[in-house]
Amino acid sequence: MRTYDFTPLYRSAVGFDRLAGLLESAARTSQENGWPPYNIETTGENAYRIEIAVAGFKPDELNIEVKENLLTVTGRKTANDDAGSERNFLHRGLAERDFERRFQLADYVVVKAADLVNGLLSIDLQRELPEALKPRRIEIGSGQALIEGKKGKAAA
């Protein structure tokens, strides 16, 4: 297990503390147990989808929350081992344990929809830039030449 020290970055760069935090978070996340498995794909120019394998979970046992560019998906399995249960497992290989998955979102990425189909939780994301940040074309006017500080009329 390798750890990285980002202290020199904090000492010499101003305003990049969030980037260092993201790198530290990514290093910690890569050391997790890897359950449940997931895919991240791009579905368009500014569209993304996260698919998480949550077989056995019902929609009311899953929670999706976004706070400060952090998408958190949690699964809390209700107990299936009731005292009155008639089930007698010879092998129990289906994971029915609680989980929490975190995804760091870029600025202006919002969750558009979430669906649970055939054990796959699909979360659709979209980058929505505010109008002020979108590129815009500036028209160049064809104003008349200025004569003695006056615009418009030609000199007589």
> Tell me: the pLDDT tens digits for 90-149?
887 776 789 999 999 988 899 999 999 999 999 999 999 888 877 888 888 887 766 666
Confidence of residue 39 (pLDDT cuts 50, 70, 90): very high
Share of the chain above pLDDT 90, in %: 39
Range of the domain at 125: 34-81+89-131
pTM score, whole prediction: 0.66
Burial of 122 (0-12, 13-18, 19+ CB in 10 A): middle
**DSSP letter, residue 59:** G
Both 24 and 44 in one domain: the answer is no
Residue 143 included in any domain: no
How far is 55 from 116, CA to CA, in rounded Å?
Answer: 10
> How high does pLDDT run on average in the chain?
80
Residue 7 included in any domain: yes
Bridge partners for 42 per DSSP: 48
Both 40 and 5 in one domain: the answer is no
